[in-house]
Chains A and B, each alone.
Chain A
Amino acid sequence: MVFMVIILLVVTLFVAVRIYALKKEVKKLTLQLHQYNQRQTNQKLEMDLFDRDLEELGMEVNKLIDLYIAEQQKHIRFANEQKQLIANMSHDLRTPLTSTIGYLQMAQNEHMTSKERVELLNIAVRQARRLETLLNDFFELSLIESADYHLSREQVHLNSLVIEVLIRFYDRFQEKGMEPTVHIPEQAIFIVANESAVIRVVENLLANAITHADGNIVINLEERDETVRLTVTNDAFSLTETDVQHMFDRFYMADKARSGKSTGLGLSIVKSLMKKMDGTITGRLNNGQLSIVCTWKRFYD
């Protein structure tokens, strides 16, 4: 009998101590969660690891915290990108706008022959057109990048599409005295993509090559297992690795002189379109040769 009572007492004591420890631990966790919910800390839960079940609870709560932080970070990143974008935008619009105003002010000058005035106005119009292109590109890019912009997928016959675009660029190649080398296989290549988006991609890549190429341009189309690759290669001796790393960034222009008609948005548009079509695009610099490679999924019947 006495023996029984002692055993009972020991068991009761053991249970009481355990309950006390568990309660203490729960209180500690509650306090930590409270501080977390008050946004006083981003610290994850810490605990004395003596109970498996409680440890698992802690682990799951920490996963929840991870999720929250990832979401919060996404918001912060998005807000920062927007801020950066607007800053870049006003920055890139201001310089051409200022000089346009300058030309118009000069044209207002009364002591000026009409020939001089026409010349100044022509420059101002050219500058204003550039601003217009910039705004259009910018608008297009914002549209493509918005989350609810979807491209329909269809079967696209890539050989004929590339050739059609090349023919349209014939004059511009001529103007620059360029003769592009084109490798397009005989057999028909079909990809899963959006036709008008692919046209835009090819156009922008060619326009980019024509503007920046120091020498000749090579266009290569090939099939590789599941994918189809379109490669546009051109000489670019003045380009650096850093340029290639950043060339898909908005407003990035390798030649800081910003001569010509480029807006620094063409390749960003290409990249966004490729992303929306689940394709990939990469740039590589090899012995002064820039290759931009686009890959799409092949179409199977």
Chain B
Amino acid sequence: MNEYVIRTKQLTKTFKSGFTLNDINISIKKGEIYGLIGENGAGKSTLLRLITGLAFPTSGEIERFGSTKPNMIANAQKRMGAIIENPALFPHLTAYENLEVHRLQKGIPGRDCIERTLKLVGLKHTGKKKVKNFSLGMRQRLGLAIALLSDPELLILDEPTNGLDPSGIVEMRELILKLNREKGLTVLISSHILSELYQLATRFSFIHKGKLLEELSKKELDERCRKHIRIKVDNPARGATVLERSLATDDFEVLSDGTIKLYRYLDDVRTVSRILTENGLIIEHLSLNGDSLESYYTNLIGGNKD
């Protein structure tokens, strides 16, 4: 089976209002939790609508489940579950009846799936309560239930934590992680708060004013967000010893290419450099890297202000 669930090539969407989603290239691998981060109005929802096939691109290409053919959109939509903006619910029906409508419409055999999904999202005990009397958080959960009813391969969530209380946010996060772990569900999720997605996503992309600024894995993000001094010397073994003896620290790591990442003496790069040199080492590279999560994000966006 195809390794990529979604791939976009130079995806562009122009609106009459002048807003453009410009030249977006992203790829979402099977089994990933893909976080889409951007301020309000950055173009996240537009991108999600294009991916789900609710809107059509001005130019560029979207590959869904390995196929770019337009006549396969309907087929691909069956394999996705999405909540974008407000999920369409029938206010006069109960949660169970709402799901039954969707079950019949999607042609899912057996009513078991309804009970199971309601239990999964924590709406099992709503009984005869009509949806019009639901709180915002409960509506969000029901929306998620509808998206999950057919056991999709890709789940698309647009700002799913809107209207959820803190414990609801934690529950939602745990549910997504569970589905991802147990069923290999691929998830595409958007938010304007990086720290919210940080604990969930395995891959991140940052969108600002319709442009994709950066796409990187959790590991790369961690790399950029833990402050360290990157040292490359002619003899890494000697280097490690000097750090331990002369700087009295063992809070460092030696990478496979011999680069040393030092997590101490961050304010005192000069001392580090002096001591390495004094011990006869030739410094090939020495730099202070990394940032805090929030300042990384602000810098990324700030550096791209027009």
Instruction: Give A residues with C-beta under 8 Å from B.
Output: 39-49, 54-59, 62, 66, 69-70, 72-73, 76-77, 90-91, 94-95, 98-99, 101-103, 105-106, 256-259
Contact = CB atoms under 8 A, between A and B. Distances in A.
Contacts of B249: 257
Contact of A41 (B79, B238, B250): B79
A251 to B, nearest CB: 12
Contacts of B104: 49
B132 interface: no
B181 A77 contact: yes
Contacts of A43: 78-79, 153
B107 interface: yes
Please classify how large the interface on chain B is, using the bins under 10, 10 to 19, 20 to 34, 35 or more.
35 or more
Contact of A55 (B110, B240, B250, B251): B110
B183 interface: yes
A69 B78 CA distance: 18
Interface of B: 1, 31, 65, 78-79, 104, 106-110, 112, 150-151, 153, 181-184, 235-242, 244, 249-256, 263
14 contacts: A46-B107, A46-B108, A47-B109, A48-B107, A49-B109, A59-B109, A72-B184, A73-B183, A77-B181, A95-B254, A99-B250, A101-B237, A102-B235, A257-B251
A43 B112 CA distance: 17
Contacts of B112: 59
A99 B240 contact: yes
Contacts of B251: 256-258
A62 B183 contact: no
Contact of B1 (A42, A45, A59, A95): A42
A95 B237 CA distance: 9
Given A72-B184, A73-B183, A256-B263, A99 B241 contact: yes
Contact of A94 (B108, B153, B256): B256
Contacts of B236: 98
A54 to B, nearest CB: 8
B109 A55 contact: yes
Contacts of A258: 250-251
A70 B106 CA distance: 23
B181 A73 contact: yes
A62 B153 contact: no
B250 A259 contact: yes
A256 B249 CA distance: 11
